Amino acid sequence: MQNDVPFNEVIRRVAREIAAGRESADRTFGLATLYDLTADRLVRFSVSITRRQHDAEDAVSTAMVKVASRPNLLVDADRPWHYLLRMVRNESLVILRTRSRWSAIGSIADRLIGRSTDVVAQDDENRLVWQALASLPAPQSEVVVLKIWEQLTFAEIASVLQITPSTAASRYRYALEKLSGRLATVSGFGQCVSAVSPDEVSEAAR
């Protein structure tokens, strides 16, 4: 996200406050601040991988616990926000690996009903978007979330997911092809998609 440099610095500053906290209350306050700043966005990203709201919340909570014990992970990172996204992705993948096959399939309803999911799906159009995203393979849906909602470049997405920019662009292109028919009537999503030119995708895929 080109305009995300200030947000990266906000995350770094909060991480420094956590690291510098001499009292437990100071560290707790710093962690609460970090949670307020990032939780909704992190859960939204994790849901694109786990397909379940409660698993996404668990992944975010686990990542936060690690930050609480080792805040310098974020302090020392080149881009703390991207590093935190990668931490949450790793925890989400751990949850997937430990889940049984039948529960891994999940249901779309697990994603669309629930206390916190309403944050990202408050009306019918948003529910259509998340239903469509749920139909995609996780490697494609996570790229869509990072590209459209987090507005990361393909190079930044590649860094978070530890893949090449061309792979990120390819997954994004295939995802858009699958989503285009389903979401043709969803104006908000259509505007986000149309804002990304085919040339940008093609350039990254070279």
Rounded (10°) CA dihedral 84, 89, 90, 93: 160
Identify the CATH number of the domain in which residue 186 sits.
1.10.10.10
pLDDT tens-digit profile of 83-128? 999 999 999 998 888 764 444 334 433 443 343 444 444 456 667 7
H/E element, 7: helix 5-20
Q: What's this model's pTM, rounded to 2 decimal places?
A: 0.67
* Domain final position from 89, 106, 121: 121
Residue type for 174, please? Answer: Y
* Domain final position from 93, 121, 149: 121
What would the mean pLDDT of 34-42 be, rounded to a whole number?
A: 95
124, two tokens: 């019918």
Q: Is 1 in the same domain as 92?
A: yes
Q: Is 44 in the same domain as 85?
A: yes
Q: Is 47 in the same domain as 148?
A: no
Structural domain for 133, as ranges:
123-206
Q: Is 98 in the same domain as 193?
A: no
Q: How many domains does the chain have?
A: 2
Instruction: Give the mean pLDDT of the chain.
Output: 79
Q: Which of 17, 116, 28 lies closest to 65, judged by CA?
A: 28
pLDDT tens-digit profile of 48-63? 999 889 899 999 999 9
Q: How far apart are alpha carbons 45 and 90 in whole angstroms?
A: 12
